[in-house]
Structure 1
Amino acid sequence: MAWLTGASLIFIAGAAVLRQYIDRQNAWFLVLALVLYSLGNLMMVRLMKENGMAVSMSVSAVLQLILVNLVAILFYGERPGNLQASGIALGIVAVILIVMPQGSRS
């Protein structure tokens, strides 16, 4: 869980740095974002090895979905519309279903 959280936070930092690049057009922001995304992907390799690709990527994608929306709302004043908010909620439900323990199969 620590690796997943770390990788997701690094991806969110990369997204925030890219947002700064859009505002300021400074190439160093683009370089930093690429470094952060590369580091996050290297961390994801370990997660996929330990937990499988399907679960690791699904949980990571939705965790990033939630966190990036929080960053966009809190720091950049962006607001998702009703349809977008519904999609975010469905993404959360999807991850809950993916990680939910399954009963034994007979």
Structure 2
Amino acid sequence: MAISGVLQLAASTLAFLLAAVGAKQWAISPTLLKMVFTLILYTIGNLIMLRLVRDFGMASAFTLSALLQLVAVNAIAIFYFSEELPSAQLAGILLAIIAVGLITLAPSK
């Protein structure tokens, strides 16, 4: 993936992470402004993803995005929002990271 792809992936991930934080803030204290802000951020992230899909393919773009979001969203939930996950859920997240990593990074035949 070229530098421009990495930057686009970072931008979409940032948009999705900010949207996830907005969604959590809306869940804590719902307001129309929070909902609109969250929807705008999700839209921006998806528009960037459309370009990534066109340039790098659906499998690569969505798999890398999913892996980055999986790690980052859980880190934000645990460290910023002080959410606690049972060990079974933590194990599931770890297995998901490993699975997506294998799908993304394993050489194809």
Is TM more than 0.5 here? yes
Q: Which amino acid aligns with 1:85?
A: L
Aligned to 1:11: 16
User: Which residues of structure 1 form unaligned runs of 5+?
Assistant: none
What is the root-mean-square deviation of aligned Cα atoms in Å?
A: 1.4
Task: Quote how far apart the aligned CAs of 1:21 are.
Answer: 1.0
Which of 65, 68, 73 is the equivalent residue of 1:63?
A: 68
Give me the TM-score of the superposition, normalised by structure 2.
0.87
Q: What letter is aligned with 1:66?
A: V
Given that 2:63 and 2:104 are in contact with CA atoms closer than 8 Å, whether structure 1 keeps it comes out as no
Quote how far apart the aligned CAs of 1:101 are. 5.2
Where structure 2 has 5 or more consecutive residues not aligned to the other structure, the ranges are 1-5
Partners of 1:80 and 1:33 in 2: CA distance: 24
- Stretches of 4+ moved more than 3 A in 1? none
What is the CA distance between 1:92 and its match in structure 2? 1.5
Alignment-derived partner of residue 7 in structure 2: 2
Residue 72 of structure 1 corresponds to 77
Give the aligned residue type for 2:91.
S
* Identity of matched residues, %: 36
Secondary structure of 2:83's counterpart equals coil
- The one of 46, 50, 55 equivalent to 2:55 is 50
- CA separation in 1, counterparts of 2:27 and 2:105? 38
Q: How many residues align?
A: 104
Q: Normalised by the size of structure 1, how large is the TM-score? A: 0.89
1:54-96 deviation digits (Å, cap 9, x = unpaired): 1211121121111111111111110221111111111211222
For 1:77-92, list aligned pairs within 5 A: 77-92=82-97
